[in-house]
Structure 1
């Protein structure tokens, strides 16, 4: 049964928040007692004090993970048995769905309507999907000389560190720990210091589900924790989602240490191309608004560049402005809210800095363009769009906020050139009524995901997710994700 605004506010007032790290099966404070404050960006209220982990906690967790992995208590379980435990874990996530959604909303400012319908159910679905898949993925019998039996098998990679972002904390974490745990690994989850609450709570649910101690651990803290994990010689794999700059650092740390496997899902500056034969311009405009303003624009796949043909630009902008009105910031605890708060002061200042840059570089303001407050408080920014040149700063750099660049083009060739003229290659979209054009443009767009006449569709786990170029390597979701957390082994038996 759906809760009202008042009921969510009442529940928030009754919520007990855990702030300790989870190491070797129990909640613990940092050894030196250090903590940091967790702040609600919609109200500036302090939610909890969180354990600030450091080198001692990293060493403790890595030793526990290695011991748990080598014991075989998880890695040597039959895939079906691991799957059953993970299904219980998924069921517990659903059972505690309102609590987890509320933690996510309070922690990062996301609308409660989104956390209850997308983030938490999506995390449960991810865990369940890999739980159901893991006993259906086999190896190979290689075609070799009849005097040999040749087996090609996959085995868990070992100890995995998952360093995850603040924009979709529980969902992005599940995209890492779902396949990593299903494959039989031990996992250390490092949530962003901006969004630690759901990760910490998940640890207790994992233990309740039957995941052995040391197999699922959570280390809240600053970037130093991620660096220590990436440098650690007893970590076998780092899976990271975040900025391209930090991803490059993590790849370097891995190279400096033990050449651990590194999987990076990084930034984006995704183009959304509207061709002149688009037959439903209003739908394209509504979808474009959602592509940039959903989740306050804090999305690596955000459609932050709309490329629109010169003949339809004016009509498109009028329809877009109408759609943007539906994303006015409001209380994240109100189920009717479509846009919440920016995650913290640092990101808030960064986004406003880009808005200033758009104005000083001569961008024509389409809508928004300023900060706002809800009930006199909070880190809120109006949905904003500029008409700009393709080389404008806001059209080239990832902003991670509700700021759109509208760019005009004259023909398909120019649109494709502008779309691909970026360091990134995470996602793209094209709007056309011509099926041949759709296929031709999609093939030429250098992006890991291309949508046609839609944006951000395909939420099920069957599609691999990741990017080209500096948007990273490897893939989350789908059976392809399992490859990231396993090693291939060839075994040859002479008869």
Structure 2
């Protein structure tokens, strides 16, 4: 039998226009930050990409004050139709620089360039287009006759979708008349700082958007600052709890989008080939660095053997390697620290008696890589069934009845997302009404649209982002 191999299809890193150094963005200008500079790494090669200036407490104060001035003197006073023009301009500039942003995102984050190119960057632009359309229609959003902006929004985003999470935060804030101070993740600040260039290109008034790179101390300083009216955070549940404690007792509004341990439920009447592709997309997209990843597969007992055979074959065809190769399916883990966490949890699965199967794909000797892994024979008490791994690791459990599937799916402190695979529409609706998750996908997974609200319950956070509902978090009706 002839075995066909994909020829390398590398994207040129020169397209990223990578600079040797980047600086914080305050009041419409790039400034020297008062924090210790950090070096951001390419997780696929462990090479230093650039030196990034970071902020300190005085920079946070300066950025919040700049945002306050812009809010009071300029931005909140603009008609919605004028704010919309800026958002449309930003969206078009993201499109025009899409290839540059995609390559830069892949270099800094480690995700395959085809995901940056085909998912992250287009969806980021779509969020600005969508929210631009709302800017002059807020009084028709069903959020009161005269909805008003809150003021200055302090926003902290994670490293798994750097530019996309920025768009999820900044687009609704600007559309509703707020100004922004945003802290990107410590390991992935580069596309946020290029976005600052886009703000300059769009002639956005100074102070409307401010970008402060740095570690967790910068985010903590921003959350605590008395000049911040609204805090939006996406990240770990542990940090989300710290933020909630810091904000408690203050008038600040808060939205949190935190961790998850989503169940992907496959019934015996599901189209198994379609379900396998949905399972693969649900857990191995972006190396499993997804809060709503379908990291628990609940398979009905009568089809679990057939489903596992199909799944293992499909996973064995995934290509792991250079994220800049357009043929790559699985890129690099974002950091050595995250790779260590994944390895530690996988080892716990081995020790607790689950059956581990790992793709036979070759793993590069250099860089932070982890081969796609599937655990079968998983019990509810095991750590791999309870804790968020945030990596390309799937835990497989079984069930006999729909009631058992619901009980096992809900047996988690999280509640961000879930998937249901069955040919019966009535069963999908029955399950969706009983699954404690903010989003339930039917015969698909990881489908997003700027018009659809997204968010969780319990330890997955509260509040919604996207859609008409997502505007409410930035308005005082």
> Shorter chain as normaliser: what TM range?
over 0.9
Q: CA deviation at 1:290?
A: 1.5
CA distance in structure 2 between the aligned counterparts of 1:199 and 1:227, rounded to whole angstroms: 19
Deviation at 1:152, TM superposition (A): 3.5
| Structure 1 position 211 matched with structure 2 position 211 | no
Rounded Cα–Cα distance in structure 2 between residues aligned with 1:106 and 1:207: 23
2:418 alignment partner, SS class = strand
Which 4+ stretches in 1 moved above 3 angstroms?
Answer: 4-7, 9-12, 139-142
* 2:126 is equivalent to residue 125 of structure 1: yes
1:168-224: CA deviation from partner (whole Å, max 9, x where unpaired):
010011001000011111101100001100111101111221211011000000001
- Provide the C-alpha distance between the structure 2 equivalents of 1:18 and 1:124, rounded to a whole number of angstroms: 26
Assess, with a 3 A threshold, how the Cα gap between structure 1 residues 140 and 303 changes in structure 2: closer, same or farther. closer
Match in the other structure for 1:315: 306
Supply the distance in 1 between the matched residues of 2:174 and 2:268 (Cα, whole angstroms).
47
Q: Secondary structure at the match of 2:145?
A: strand
Contact 2:11–2:325 (CA under 8 A) maintained in structure 1: no
Match of 2:30 in 1: 27
C-alpha separation in 2, matches of 1:109 and 1:265: 22
* In structure 1, distance between residues paired with 2:332 and 2:297: 23
Asked if the contact 1:139–1:154 (Cα under 8 Å) also holds between the matched residues in 2, the reply is no
Q: How far is 1:141 from its partner? A: 11
What CA RMSD, in Å, does the superposition of the two structures yield over aligned residues?
1.8
Deviation at 1:11, TM superposition (A): 3.4
Residue pair 1:369, 1:385 contacting (<8 A) in 2 also: no
Instruction: Deviation per CA, 1:11-51: give whole Å up to 9, x if none.
Output: 35x6335520001111112136x201100000011001111
1:141 and 1:351 map into 2 onto residues whose CA distance is: 44
Answer yes or no: is 1:5 the counterpart of 2:17: no
The alignment status of 1:472 with 2:473, answered yes or no, reads no
Consecutive unaligned residues in structure 1, runs of 5 or more:
143-150, 489-495
1:163 maps onto 2:164 in alignment: no
- Corresponding residue for 1:362? 353
Q: TM-score, normalising length from structure 2? A: 0.95
Instruction: Determine if contact 1:373/1:379 at 8 Å carries over to the other structure.
Output: no
Structure 1 residues 228 and 424: alpha-carbon distance in aligned structure 2, compared to 1, 3 A threshold? same
SS of 1:189's partner is strand
1: distance between equivalents of 2:130 and 2:317?
A: 34
| Partner Cα distance (2:81, 2:251) in 1 | 32
Q: Structure 2: how far apart are the matches of 1:322 and 1:189?
A: 43
Structure 1 equivalent of residue 369 of structure 2: 380
Question: Cα distance 1:141–1:122, how it changes in 2: closer, same or farther (>3 A)?
Answer: closer
Corresponding residue to 1:344 among 319, 335, 352? 335
Corresponding position of 1:430: 420
Number of the residue aligned with 1:405:
395
- Give 1:9 deviation, angstroms: 3.8
Tell me how many residue pairs correspond in the alignment.
Answer: 469
In the TM superposition, 1:99-114 aligns within 5 A as 99-114=100-115
Flag the 1:228–1:313 CA change in 2: closer, same or farther, 3 A: same
Counterpart-to-counterpart distance in 2, 1:31 and 1:281: 55
